[in-house]
Chains A and B, each alone.
Chain A
Amino acid sequence: MLEILINDWKRLLEEKQYLFVSMILTICSIVSAIALTNMTETKGNLALVTYGDVNVTKSAKQLEKNPYFNISILVSPPLKSDLVQNRYDAIVTMTEEGTYKIESIKSDELTSVIKEFLENPLSFVPNSDNERKIGTNIIGYMMMFLLLQGVLYARLFADDKEKHMIERVFMSPIAFRGYLLGHALFICLLIFIPSISVIIVAKLLGIKIGLSLVAYVGLIATLSILGTAFSLMLNSFFCIADTANMLGTSIILLSSILAGSFYSFSKDKTVFDKLLHILPQKDFMDFVNALEKGTLTSGLIWHFIYIVILSITFFVVAMFKTRKDYVYHK
């Protein structure tokens, strides 16, 4: 196993450019995940249209001080494309008598929340149960990139298969389990070490990262194991590296978006939401969310265990498939 690990490292060092660029890109994606999370404001955006009326502007100024909505006071209504691009959630037109007209392309639910706010700006408190905290957001943004790296670093294993090196390896006295475990460990470490170092540096620099370092170590390790096991399984089914690569990339992209790693779409208690829990990313996000808010239940711990079991299953499938294909049986 150790030989494979060292050998993989030597092979990668042969392509320093490759190693260098992938490390830089990993670091870039994680830095941008942290930066994006720290800079976002999750307030609603309202456009107050005054048409230059002095009285209206005065009362609009009072609304501006509230902590829940970003209010832009405009003289003329904004463009519709701004609404479509989510720049404003709604356009509010005020009349001198103090009545409001709300125009929005968003759901009726949001319109009624805005109405509630405009009627009682002082006593308004939004319902923020669904809001995520910083740590969950950082993990959410990182997740897709970490899983994608699993597919990309599995290249050495794919190379072995594509160039028929693997048959020679199995003719040699190297143990089969050691061979696959070595590759797995190597990919895992390649994903884990750069990403955790970025997090540690961020912590040392005093940037808010939400969760504790120990939690990050555990979570990133879980993600790297999941990514590694998945990519090894995928590669064990295909002999051509590109096919596995492209399929893996699209599966990870789709499932991460579906699981709401960037942006939580789902509403609770629908059948669809329950089905989504098949995706490990969804369980993972729920687990991290609960961990950060301190509302862990035993049910959520089972979700976490499901991820671990799934990773092990992926790895076992990869092992059996490879053994069936390449190891000589009587």
Chain B
Amino acid sequence: MRNLYLISKEDLKNLIKNPMWLFYGTLFPILLVVILGFLGKDSYGNEVTSYDYYGITLIIYSILMSGMTSANAFMEVTIRKPNMRIIYAPGNSNVIYLSKILSSFIFCFGCHLFDMIFLYLVFDIGLHAVPQILILLGLTELFSVALGVMCCCIFKTEAMANQILSIVINLLAIFGGLLFSLDGYGEVVRGISYLSPAKWLVKTSFSMIYDNDFSWFFPTLIGISLATTVVFIICKITFRKEDCIC
């Protein structure tokens, strides 16, 4: 446990020190919301604004994208040699990936919390059931961060993990209606959009915010927790110490 804490602390420092990742975590989601909200303003009225819609969906989008950060934190060039030293040190080598998951979770969730508070204050985004939404988003964050590390464990190179993650997540986001809503595009498309887990998250959040309807909350929560467990197990199976040698 102590090893995990120490390594995570160092990883977190490493994450915070990189300006690119700070930009990606804090400024990028805000920019996305501002731009899309501004562009979509005309098609919404005064009661529910476009910021209300994009504020929720794009935060979910950036949370799903944080897998890229954890993939970078795991296999970045400067971090490979320290990883190699940890394998040779006495102790459990599982802490290598666990610490990356933990530190990028703290980093990304911190950044996104900042984004959410900022957007809430500036654009007055309609919110309801805040604790439930935070739990939901927190678990999603954990899932996507672990997914990034899992891709690194499976494909062994960071470039490939990044490539796959960015395309897969963008596809899920488009089908889940995160970048623009698909619900109005006919029966078939609506059915397809429910294939994307992103859609469940959006649906759950919006029914909690606007209808006080919590019936989707627990199924989604259980779904994400199961998925996270599976991802952790795959990490455990596919992680090999030898891959860290460089």
Residues of A at the B interface (CB closer than 8 Å) are 15, 17-18, 21-22, 25, 28-29, 32, 36, 39-45, 70, 79-89, 104-110, 141, 144-145, 148, 152, 155, 162, 240-243, 245-247, 249-250, 253-254, 257-258, 260, 262-263, 265-267
Question: Closest chain B residue to A264 by CB distance?
Answer: B39
Chain A: CB-nearest residue to B185: A40
Do A106 and B43 contact each other (CB < 8 Å), given the known contacts A84-B48, A85-B206? yes
Which residues of chain A have C-beta atoms less than 8 A from B39's C-beta?
A: 258, 260, 265-266
Contact A250 B24 (CB under 8 A): yes
Which chain A residues lie closer than 8 Å to B91 at the CB level?
none
- B133 interfacial contact with A, CB 8 Å: no
Are A257's CB and B168's CB within 8 A? no
Contact A262 B180 (CB under 8 A): yes
Which residues from chain B contact A83 at a C-beta distance below 8 Å? 48
User: For chain B residues 144-196, which have a beta carbon within 8 Å of chain A?
Assistant: 155, 157-160, 162-164, 166-168, 170-171, 174-175, 177, 179-186, 188-190, 192
Instruction: Tell me, rounded to whole Å, the shortest Cβ–Cβ distance linking A163 to chain B.
Output: 10
- Chain A residues with Cβ below 8 Å from B28 are 250
Partner of B24, one of A42, A110, A246: A246
Complex alpha-carbon distance, A17 and B20, angstroms: 29
> Which residues B27-84 have CB closer than 8 A to chain A?
28, 31-32, 35-36, 39-40, 42-45, 47-48, 52-53, 68, 72, 76-77
> Which residues of chain A come closer than 8 Å to B36, judged between CB atoms?
257
Query: From B190, which residue of chain A is reached at the shortest CB distance?
Result: A87
CB distance from A312 to the nearest CB of B (A): 27
B158–A105 touching, CB < 8 Å: no
Interface stretch of the complex, out of B4-12, B100-108, B208-216, B231-239: B208-216
A21 to B72, CA, bound (A): 19
Q: How far is the CB of A89 from chain B (nearest CB, A)?
A: 7
Residues of A within 8 A of B72 (CB): 242, 246
CB distance from B66 to the nearest CB of A (A): 12
CB of A254 to closest CB in B, whole Å:
7
A152 to B52, alpha carbons, bound, how many Å? 33
User: When the two chains form the complex, which single residue of B32, B77, B164, B209 contacts A254, counting CB atoms closer than 8 Å?
Assistant: B32
Residues of A within 8 A of B171 (CB): 28-29, 32
The answer to whether A81 and B174 have CB atoms under 8 Å apart is: no
Number of B interface residues, CB 8 Å?
58
Chain A residue numbers with a CB within 8 Å of B180 are 262-263
Contact B166 A85 (CB under 8 A): no
Question: Contact: B44 with A262, CB < 8 Å?
Answer: no
Instruction: Pick 29 A–B contacts, CB within 8 A, sort by A.
Output: A17-B160, A18-B157, A18-B159, A21-B160, A25-B164, A29-B170, A36-B174, A39-B188, A40-B182, A40-B185, A81-B207, A81-B213, A84-B210, A87-B190, A105-B44, A148-B167, A148-B170, A152-B159, A152-B162, A152-B166, A242-B77, A245-B162, A246-B20, A250-B24, A254-B32, A262-B179, A263-B179, A265-B42, A267-B42
- For the complex, give the distance between the alpha carbons of A226 and B167 in Å: 19
Q: Is B96 an interface residue (CB 8 A)?
A: no
In the complex with contacts A22-B163, A81-B209, A242-B35 CB distance below 8 A = no
> Is the Cβ of B211 less than 8 Å from the Cβ of A79?
yes
Q: Which of A15, A17, A83, A246 has the most CB of B within 10 A?
A: A246
- Residues of chain A within 8 A (CB-CB) of B160 are 15, 17-18, 21-22
Q: Which of B158, B159, B180, B213 has most chain A Cβ within 10 Å?
A: B159
B43/A254 in contact, CB under 8 A? no
Chain B residues within an 8 Å CB radius of A107: 42-45
Closest chain A CB from B174 CB (angstroms) = 7
Q: Chain B residues with Cβ under 8 A from A260's Cβ? A: 39
* A42-B52 contact, Cβ under 8 Å, with A110-B43, A254-B31, A258-B39: no
Could you tell me the distance in whole angstroms from the C-beta of A177 to the nearest C-beta in chain B?
26
The answer to whether B175 and A32 touch across the interface, beta carbons within 8 angstroms, is yes
Q: How far is the CA of A113 from the CA of B48 in the complex (A)?
A: 19
Q: How far is the CA of A41 from the CA of B168 in the complex (A)?
A: 25
The smallest beta-carbon distance between B220 and chain A, in angstroms, is: 14
Question: What is the bound-complex CA distance between A87 and B202, given in angstroms?
Answer: 13
Give 7 nearest A-B pairs by CB, closest first. A41-B186, A265-B39, A86-B181, A81-B206, A40-B185, A80-B210, A87-B183
- Across the two chains, which residue of chain B brings its CB closest to A240? B77
Closest to A108 in B: B45
Q: How far is the CA of A104 from the CA of B44 in the complex (A)?
A: 9
Q: Which of A15, A43, A86, A106 has most B Cβ within 10 Å? A: A86
Q: How far is the CB of B153 from chain A (nearest CB, A)?
A: 14
Residues of B within 8 Å of A21, CB to CB, are 155, 160, 163-164
Contact A144–B170 (Cβ < 8 Å): yes
Q: Which residue of B lies closest to A35 (CB)?
A: B192
- Are the CB atoms of A39 and B186 closer together than 8 Å? yes
Nearest A residue to B207 by beta-carbon distance? A81
Give the Cβ gap from B90 to chain A, nearest Cβ, in Å: 31
Most buried by B among A105, A141, A262: A105
Do A80 and B211 touch (CB < 8 A)?
yes
- By beta carbon, the residue of chain B nearest A33 is B174
From A80, A105, A108, A262, contact of B174 by CB (8 A): A262
Residue of B20, B179, B210, B211 touching A247 (CB-CB under 8 A): B20
Q: Determine if B185 and A42 form an interchain contact, defined as CB atoms under 8 angstroms apart.
A: yes
